[in-house]
Amino acid sequence: MSEYTGVASPGPSAAFFDLDRTLISGSSMFSLALAARAAGLVPARQFAADARKALAFTLRGADDDTSAGVRERILGAVRGVRQDDVIALNSEIIPRLLGRIRPEARHLLDRHRHAGRATYIVSASPRELVAPLAVSLGMTGGIGTISEVVDGVYTGRLAGPFCYGEGKVDAIRELARWEGLDLAQCYAYSDSASDLPMLHAVGHPVAVNPDTKLSRAAAANGWPIVVFSRRTKSVIRRTTTAVGAVGVAASGFAAGWRLAKRTTV
């Protein structure tokens, strides 16, 4: 086994990281559900349903998830809740998620940053959670799902394309247009076959703790497959040599919020 380090490549680029089971172990939505339940924002029955779905995701990933099912889980989690109340939960949720960031992911973020490449979280989780988490990690920004808000309350409907599957590709392409990024020089990291569109959209895709379908696709395409654990890292297969690591200084929550507003998610 050898260490996954890679070689930086030239040109304007960024590294895009899926959140759940890639940057962090488990599900960010479960942390949101826990905090919302503790704050009395969701009834016990809804919390139990959300917990079961999050546990299933933690155990098997998104192999069997449909886009509609994921969308309903994300939007339904905040339906009828005030946006200010959800944002207030970040004081509890963000430290919890920071404690679950995989050590190997932190190492990759540092390498991307030191090499001058921008870093972004791209996740189906709510923008209100993703953007501040990215800032807390010193990343350039976070792109997440934008839910419709009417009179300060989430309606359970989207306010733009869903940041999942092809929706992630729409988001990073829009960002690339704004920032002058060359996607052929960009990197993407994910554990799930649901992110195959995003992985195919960049020049340097990496499968992290991949589910079965993604593992097969990575092998067929010659993509690196790496295993991130909580404490140690091992590379189980390295099938390409042109894989780099790089990043850009953090911009702060306001920048992350502006980024989310001007992207298509």
pLDDT of residue 58: 46
Tokens coding 187: 């990197």
pLDDT at position 109 over 70: yes
- CATH number of 60's domain: 3.40.50.1000
Let me know if residue 3 belongs to a domain: no
Which string of DSSP letters, residue by residue, matches the chain? ----------SS-EEEE-TBTTTBSS-HHHHHHHHHHHTT-S-HHHHHHHHHHHHHHHHHTTTT--HHHHHHHHHHHHTTSBHHHHHHTHHHHHHHHHTTB-HHHHHHHHHHHHTT-EEEEEEEEEHHHHHHHHHHTT-SEEEEE-EEEETTEEEEEESS--SSTHHHHHHHHHHHHHHT--GGG-EEEES-GGGHHHHHHSSEEEEES--HHHHHHHHHHT--EEEE-SS-EEEEE---S-----------HHHHHHHHHHS--
pLDDT of 123 above 80: yes
**Per-range mean pLDDT, top range of 59-73, 135-149, 247-261:** 135-149
Q: Does 1 map to a domain?
A: no
Assigned domain for 225 exists: yes
Measured distance CA(198)–CA(205) in Å, rounded: 8
pLDDT band at 71 (very low <50, low <70, confident <90, very high): confident
Read off the pLDDT of each residue in 89-116 and give the average, rounded to a whole number: 91
**Maximum mean pLDDT: which of 9-23, 33-47, 141-155, 231-245:** 141-155
* Whether 18 is catalytic: yes
* pLDDT reading at 22 higher than 50: yes
Q: What is the pLDDT of residues 140-184, one digit of tens each?
A: 999 998 889 999 999 988 887 789 999 999 999 999 999 999 999
Task: Note down the domain range covering 193.
Answer: 14-262
User: Is the confidence at residue 47, as pLDDT, over 70?
Assistant: no
Count of domains in the chain?
1
Average of pLDDT values for 30-45? Answer: 65
Q: Is residue 9 part of a domain?
A: no
pLDDT digits (tens, 9 = 90+) for 195-248: 999 999 999 999 999 999 999 999 999 999 998 874 433 333 332 322 332 222
Higher-pLDDT residue of 240, 94: 94
Q: Indicate whether 4 belongs to any domain.
A: no
Q: Please tell me which residue in 20, 50, 170, 195 is annotated as part of the active site.
A: 20
Q: How many CB atoms are closer than 10 A to CB 64?
A: 11
Which of residues 229 and 80 earns the better pLDDT score? 80
Which of the two residues, 54 and 16, has the higher pLDDT score? 16
Identify whether 20 is a catalytic site residue. Answer: yes
Class of residue 12 by CB neighbours under 10 A (exposed 0-12, middle 13-18, buried 19+): middle
Token duo for residue 166: 């092809």
**Any bridge partners for residue 228, and if so which?**
233
| Tokens 């940053």, located at residue | 113
Residue 104 inside a domain? The answer is: yes
Let me know if residue 150 belongs to a domain.
Answer: yes
Asked if residue 140 belongs to a domain, the reply is yes
pLDDT at 6 > cutoff 60: no
- Confidence (pLDDT) at 161: 76
